[in-house]
Amino acid sequence: MKIEVEAIGPMGHSFEFLIGPDIFETATSGFRLSAPARFSGLVEKRAHGAVVVGNIRGEIEVQCARCLAEVSRPLDIEVSVEFLNKEDFGSGENAELGPNDLDADVLDDGEIDLSALAAEQILLNVPEQYFCRPDCKGLCDKCGADLNLVDCSCGTGPIDPRWAGLKKLKDEGK
């Protein structure tokens, strides 16, 4: 979905659209949208470009980095991005807004591509690693058993609490 900045009236241009899971061309990002996400907000024209304020809501399906289980997580991103005309980007009075500023973007051909913005914002806000729960034990290096479900006998897992108590007694007895 593209918005032409010149056509935006004094009240701004409000928008709401669905982002399909196919917004991401590759599956390498480690997550996917489990259903279309909703991007709603307002685009306002400014002297040097435009500002987009809104939010993206949906749900993503991610894989736990330890046990590889699929877990779903809510997606709730507040978006606030300033688009600057090319000639104003990184120059003059907007010099403090360089290309490294996450909240500033270049306005290309007087248009804002809201779909591309949504994809960019989702990628920026999804952590690289997810865990199904903070204390996920993961998979056994040797037999591949899910250590959340079974106690394999390979000995790579955490110390059994019963033996930990015994070890403590033994250590204190020294």
Q: Which stretch binds Zn ion (CB under 5 A): 73-81, 87-95, 154-162, 166-174?
A: 154-162
3-state secondary structure 61-118: EEEECCCCCEEEEEEEEEEEEEEEECCCCCCHHHCCCCCCCCCEEEEECCEEEHHHHH
CB 11, min distance to Zn ion, A: 48
Interface residue with Zn ion among 102, 123, 154, 159 (CB under 5 A) is 154
| 107 lies in the site for Zn ion, by CB under 5 A | no
Q: Considering only residues 58-87, where is the footprint of Zn ion by CB under 5 A?
A: 64, 66-67
Contacts with Zn ion by CB under 5 A: the residue count is 11
Residue 104 or 136: which CB sits closer to Zn ion?
Answer: 136
CB 60, min distance to Zn ion, A: 16
Residue 116 or 145: which CB sits closer to Zn ion?
Answer: 145
How would you label 41-64 residue by residue, b for 16+ Cβ within 10 Å and e otherwise?
A: bebbeeebbbbbebebebebebbb
Length of the chain, in residues: 174
How would you label 3-12 residue by residue, b for 16+ Cβ within 10 Å and e otherwise?
A: bebeebeeeb
Among candidates 44, 47, 36, 56, which has minimal Cα distance to 117?
56
- Residues 110-149: x where in contact with Zn ion by CB under 5 A, - otherwise, as a string: ----------------------x---x---x-xx-x----
Residues that bind Zn ion (CB under 5 A): 64, 66-67, 132, 136, 140, 142-143, 145, 152, 154
